[in-house]
Amino acid sequence: MEPMASMANIIKLREFRTFLFLILLFIIVGFMNPDYLSLQNIDKSLKSSLMYMVLAVGMTFVLLTGNLDISVGGTLGLTAAVCGTILRDGGSIFTAVIAAILIGAGIGLINGFGVIKLKISSFIMTLALLSITRVIQVMYTNGKWVENIPAHVKRLSNFEILGINVLTVIVILAVILVQVFLSKSSKGRYYNAIGDNVDGAVSLGIPVKRYIAYSFVISGICAALAGFIFVSQIGFVSTNAGVGMELTVIAACVLGGVSLSGGIGTVVGAALGAIILTSINSALVYMKVPAFWNDTISGSLLIIIVVMDALLAFNANKKAKKLRLNARVLQKEAQD
Amino acid sequence: MLKKIPKWNLVLFVIIVLEILVFGMMNPRFWNTSILLNSFNDFVPIAIIGFFLTLVVITGGIDISGVSIIGLSSVVTGLLSQTAGLNIWAAVVCAVLTGGLCGLLNGVLIAYARVQAMVITLGGMLLYSGIAIVLVGLSGVSTYEGFTGFPESFGQMANGEILGLPNAVIIFFILFLIAYILLHRTRFGRYLYLTGINQNTAEYAGINTKRVMMTAYVLSGLSAGVAGVVLTSYLGSARSDYGAEYLMPILTVVVLGGTLITGGKGGVVGTALASILLGFMQIGLQMAGVATQYIGLATGVLLIVSVAFLGINPDFRLNVKRIITHKQNGG
C-alpha cells in the first residue's frame, strides 16, 4: 500500500507532469527525426539550457517569496562583460568568478533594498535596475564586444569525463541540492512560507524582510554565475548579451509550475521548464521548421499550460470547498 | 479650481517647466517651439499605450504585451497593404483590430480563466511578437528592412501637420481625450476604480467586474495597435521588432504619472504629463550631448526615485507638496 500511495503522489506532482511533457516532446520529435534522440543531441540540449537552468534556480527563490526579478538579464550581461574583460586581460578564473559573484550580490542587495526599504513593487524596481545595468554594461565596455577570451576558459564548458559534460553534471547536482535545501531544511521552507502567507510568516517569527533580501541576492548571484557560463560557452560578450533572457527565464519557471503569486513551485520544476524552452529551439531545427516559429510556439505553449493549471486549480478549489461544506453539514447534523 | 487638480500632477507640471528652462539654458535650440512639438513624434507611441495601460493598472492588472502588439500591428499593416494589396486605410483598421483581438485574448484569459495578468501578458508578449516574426518570415520580406513603400498619404498621418500643429501632437491629444473621458467621465471609468480597489466589493455591488477587466485589456490592446500604426507611419516601414524597447518607458510613464501599481488609484492626466516629461527629458539629454544609449540610466533612476517618492513616508511627501504648492501660490 505504502509504495502505491507515494507513487500516486508523484504522479499528482506538477513537476512530474512537466517532466512527462519534456519526455513527450523528445519522443514526438524523435519519431519524426530519430537523430533528435541521439545522446549527442540530448547532451547539446542540456548544455544550451545550463544558463537558463542557473537563472531559473535564482528566479525561483524570488518567485517563491511572491516577488519578481526582471533584472537578471542585465546582471548576466554586466557580469559576463566584467568576467570577459578580466579573463581577456589575463586574470585568473577564480578572480573572474569572485568579481561576478560580488557584482551579482551587489545588484541583488540594491533590489532588496528597493523592495524592502523603499517599498517599491519588485517588478518596477528590478525593471529599473535592468535598464540601469544595461547602461553600465555599455559604459564599461564602451559599447564594444568583449572578444579574445582565452581558450582554457572556453574549454571549461566543454570539459568531459567519459563523454559526459562535467559542467552539466555540476549544474544538475546543484539544482537537486538546492531543491533538498528548499524542501527539507526549515530555513529553506521559509521562502515558501513567505510567499504563501506573509502575515502568517511574520507571526511565525520568520524574518520576512531579511529572507526577501536573501532571495534577491541569491537571484543576483545565480545570474552572475550564468554570466560566467555565458562567457565560457559562447566565448565572446556582445553588447546585447542577455537581452530578453529575464522573460524567457520567468516563462521557464512558470512552465515548470512556479506560481508568480508565490508559495508554490520547485527549483526542479523551474529547471525542467528551462530545458523544455531550450529544447523547443533545437526541436524546430530537427523538424526542419523555420526558426522564426520559435516565439509563437513558446508563447502559445506557455499560455496553454498556464490556463490549464489555473483551471485545474480552480476545480480543485471548488471540490475542496464542497468537501469542507459537506463536512460542516455532517458535523452539524451530528451535533443535533 | 487649483484645489481640484491632484497635487502630484502639479509636481509633474512644475518639473516639465523646470526641464524646459534647464535644457533651454544648456542648449537654446530647446526653446524652439517647433522642435519641442515635433519631439512628440518620438514618444507618442509610448504615451498612447501608457494612457490605456493606466486603465488596466487601475483595475489592479498589468499588461506587458503591448510592446509586442506594436510590432504585430505594424507588420499586419505592411502585409495587408503591400503584399495583399489592400487599401492602406483598410489595412490600418485591420491592424488596430488585430491589436484589439490580442487584447481580447489577454482579457478573456485573465478575467474569466483567472490566470495572473503578468503570466498571460508575458506569454502574450512572446506569442504576438512570434506571430509578427512568422508573418514577416512567411511573406519573404527582409527582416531588417521590413515592408516599405507606403503611400505618401499614410506617411502624412504621423509626419504631417494641421494648422502648424504636428499630427503627432494631435494624435496624442485625441487619444488622451478618449482615455480621459472613458476613465473620468463615464460609469465604466468608475467601475474600473471600484474593481481595482476591491474586486469582491465591486462584484457584490452588482458590477460585472470580469467584463470591466476584459474591456480594459481590449482597450489596451487596441491602443497598442494604434501605436503600431502611428510608428509605422512615422518611420515609413513596417518591422516586427518595433516597440521591443518600449516596456521600460511605458511602465515609467504610468507609474511616474502617479498610478498605483497595485490598482485603485491614478489617472491619465498624470500619465500624459509623465510621458511629456520623459519625452522632453530624452530630447533634452540628446541635445545636451548625452549619448542615446545612456538615457536608459536616467529613465531607470527616474523610475526608482518617483516610485520611492510616491510610496515612502506620506508625511514627507505632503510636506514637499505643500512647499511646492506654496511656491506656486506665492509666485
pLDDT digits (tens, 9 = 90+) for A231-284: 988 888 888 888 888 888 998 998 888 888 888 889 999 999 999 888 887 888
The CATH code belonging to domain B7-20+42-326 is 1.10.3470
Mean pLDDT, residues B216-228: 94
DSSP classification of residue B29 = G
Q: How far is C-alpha A313 from the chain's CA centre? A: 22
Residues in chain B: 331
Q: Using CB atoms within 10 Å of the CB of residue B70, give its burial: 0 to 12 exposed, 13 to 18 middle, 19+ buried.
A: buried
pLDDT confidence of residue B331? 36
**Where do we find the cell 512552465?**
A255
**Where do we find the cell 533590489?**
A111
- Scanning every residue of chain A, which has its alpha carbon at the shortest distance from the alpha carbon of B68? A295
Confidence band of A298 (pLDDT split at 50, 70, 90):
confident
Q: Which residue has the higher pLDDT, A3 or A123?
A: A123
pLDDT confidence of residue B281? 87
Q: Which residues contact A202 (CB under 8 A, 6 or more apart)?
A: A208
Gyration radius from chain B CA atoms: 20
Buried b (16+ CB within 10 A) or exposed e, A300-310: bbbbebbbebb
Q: Which residue has the higher pLDDT, B2 or B115?
A: B115
Find the domain containing A44 and state its range: 2-289
Residues in chain A: 336
**Where do we find the cell 579574445?**
A148
- Cell digits for B26? 544648456
Question: What element of type H or E holds B92?
Answer: helix B88-111
CB contact under 8 A, A114 and B301: no
User: By C-alpha distance, which of A86, A85, A56, A87 is closest to A72?
Assistant: A56
Q: Which residue has the higher pLDDT, B172 or B311?
A: B172
Q: Which residues contact A149 (CB under 8 A, 6 or more apart)?
A: A84, A87, A88, A231, A235, A236
Q: Is residue A308 part of a domain?
A: no
The strand pairing partners of A160, in sequence order, are A165
DSSP classification of residue A164 = E
CA dist., res. B231 & res. B117, Å (int) = 26
CA dist., res. B102 & res. B305, Å (int) = 33
Residues in chain B whose Cβ is within 8 Å of chain A: 62, 109, 113-116, 118-120, 122-131, 133-134, 136-137, 247-248, 251, 255, 261-262, 293-294, 296-297, 299-301, 303-304, 307-308, 311-312
A310 interaction partners in chain B (CB closer than 8 Å): 113-115
Lowest-pLDDT range of A48-52, B121-125, B257-261: B257-261
DSSP classification of residue A205 = T
Chosen from A126, A295, A311 to mutate, greatest number of chain B CBs within 10 A: A295
Could you report the predicted ipTM of this complex, rounded to two decimals? Answer: 0.82
CB contact under 8 A, A127 and B247: yes
CB contact under 8 A, B114 and A139: no
Per-residue pLDDT of B69-111, as tens digits, reads 999 999 999 888 888 888 888 999 999 999 999 999 999 999 9
pLDDT confidence of residue A224? 94
- Cell digits for B143? 527582416
pLDDT confidence of residue A198? 86
Whether B330 shows a pLDDT value over 50: the answer reads no
The strand pairing partners of A237, in sequence order, are A146
A280 interaction partners in chain B (CB closer than 8 Å): none
User: By C-alpha distance, which of B4, B2, B56, B5 is closest to B273?
Assistant: B5
Q: Which residues contact A38 (CB under 8 A, 6 or more apart)?
A: none
pLDDT confidence of residue B154? 82
Q: What is the mean pLDDT of chain B?
A: 84
CA dist., res. B80 & res. B75, Å (int) = 8
Angle at alpha carbon of residue B48, lines to B42 and B53, rounded to 5°:
130
CA dist., res. B330 & res. B309, Å (int) = 24
Q: How far is C-alpha A117 from the chain's CA centre? A: 26
CB contact under 8 A, A296 and B118: no
Per-residue pLDDT of B115-134, as tens digits, reads 888 889 989 998 999 999 89
Chosen from A123, A126, A246, A292 to mutate, greatest number of chain B CBs within 10 A: A292
Mean pLDDT, residues A290-298: 83
| Domain range annotation of chain B | 7-20+42-326
Mean pLDDT, residues A195-214: 89
Whether B327 shows a pLDDT value over 60: the answer reads no
Q: How far are the Cα atoms of A312, B71, B116, B280 from residue A258, in angstroms, in the given order?
A: 15, 29, 12, 41
Confidence band of B319 (pLDDT split at 50, 70, 90):
low
Q: Which candidate from A132, A302, A306 shows the least CB-CB separation from B301?
A: A132
pLDDT confidence of residue B4? 53
The strand pairing partners of A161, in sequence order, are A164
Confidence band of B321 (pLDDT split at 50, 70, 90):
low
Q: Is residue A310 part of a domain?
A: no
pLDDT confidence of residue B88? 86
Q: Which residue has the higher pLDDT, A158 or A62?
A: A62
Rounded to a whole number of angstroms, the distance from the CA of A110 to the nearest CA of chain B is: 11
Whether B2 shows a pLDDT value over 50: the answer reads no
Per-residue pLDDT of A67-101, as tens digits, reads 989 899 999 999 999 999 998 888 888 999 999 99
Q: Is residue A174 part of a domain?
A: yes
Q: Which residue has the higher pLDDT, A157 or A252?
A: A252
CA dist., res. B49 & res. B116, Å (int) = 20
The CATH number of residue A274's host domain is 1.10.3470
Q: What is the mean pLDDT of chain A?
A: 86
Q: Which residue has the higher pLDDT, B153 or B278?
A: B278
Q: Which candidate from B115, B128, B131 shows the least CB-CB separation from A310?
A: B115
Whether B16 shows a pLDDT value over 60: the answer reads yes
Please provide the distance, in angstroms rounded to a whole number, between the alpha carbons at the two ends of chain A. 37
CA dist., res. A270 & res. A15, Å (int) = 9
Whether B172 shows a pLDDT value over 70: the answer reads yes
DSSP classification of residue B257 = T
Confidence band of B1 (pLDDT split at 50, 70, 90):
very low
Confidence band of B213 (pLDDT split at 50, 70, 90):
very high
Domain count, chain A: 1
pLDDT confidence of residue A218? 95
Q: Is residue A40 part of a domain?
A: yes
Whether B283 shows a pLDDT value over 90: the answer reads no
CA dist., res. B118 & res. B120, Å (int) = 6
pLDDT confidence of residue B137? 85
Mean pLDDT, residues B239-267: 85
Please provide the distance, in angstroms rounded to a whole number, between the alpha carbons at the two ends of chain B. 17
pLDDT confidence of residue B226? 94
Whether B67 shows a pLDDT value over 80: the answer reads yes
CA dist., res. B40 & res. B24, Å (int) = 17
Q: Using CB atoms within 10 Å of the CB of residue A238, give its burial: 0 to 12 exposed, 13 to 18 middle, 19+ buried.
A: middle
pLDDT confidence of residue A173? 93
Buried b (16+ CB within 10 A) or exposed e, A23-49: eebbeebbeeeeebeeeebbeebbbeb
Q: Is A161 left (phi over 0), alpha (psi -120 to 50) or beta?
A: beta
Q: Which residue has the higher pLDDT, B264 or B194?
A: B194
Q: How far are the Cα atoms of A136, B7, B250, B320 from residue B3, in angstroms, in the given order?
A: 42, 8, 29, 16
Count of helices and strands (H, E) across chain A: 14, 2
Q: Which residue has the higher pLDDT, B291 or B238?
A: B238
Q: Which residues contact A66 (CB under 8 A, 6 or more apart)?
A: A194, A195, A198, A261, A262, A263
CB contact under 8 A, B251 and A127: yes
CB contact under 8 A, A299 and B303: no
Confidence band of B302 (pLDDT split at 50, 70, 90):
confident
User: 3-class SS at A165?
Assistant: strand
pLDDT confidence of residue B326? 58
CB contact under 8 A, B127 and A125: no
